Amino acid sequence: MTGDAPAIALPDELPLFPLNGVLLLPRGTLPLNVFEPRYLALVDAALAGNRMMGIVQPAADGVAGLSAPDGTNLYRTGCIGRIRVFEETDDGRYMIELRGLCRFDITDELEQRDGYRRITPDYSRFVDDLKPVPDTPVERERLLTSLKGYFELQNIAADWDSLVKTPDERLITTLAMVCPFDPAEKQVLLESENLAQQCKLLIGFIEAALRADNDNGTTALN
Q: Give me the pLDDT at residue 6, please.
A: 45
What phi and psi values does residue 139 have, to the nearest 5 degrees?
A: -85, 65
Mean pLDDT, consecutive 10-residue stretches, the chain (222 aa), reads 58 96 96 96 97 95 81 95 97 97 97 96 95 88 94 91 92 95 96 95 96 71 42
Q: What is the 3-state secondary structure (H, E, C) of 120-153?
A: EEECHHHHHHHCCCCCCCCCHHHHHHHHHHHHHH
How far is residue 64 CA from its own chain's centroid?
Answer: 12
Q: Give me the pLDDT at residue 7, please.
A: 58
3-state class of 74 per DSSP?
A: strand
Contact 39, 65 (CB under 8 A): no
Q: Give me the pLDDT at residue 216, please.
A: 74
- DSSP codes joined into one string, the chain: --SSPPSSPPPSSEEEEEBTT----TT-EEEEEE-SHHHHHHHHHHHHTT-EEEEE-BSS---TTSBPPTT--B-SEEEEEEEEEEEE-TTS-EEEEEEEEEEEEEEEEEEEETTEEEEEEE-GGGGGGGSPPP-----HHHHHHHHHHHHHHHT----HHHHHTS-HHHHHHHHHHHS---HHHHHHHHH-SSHHHHHHHHHHHHHHHHHHHHHHHHHHH-
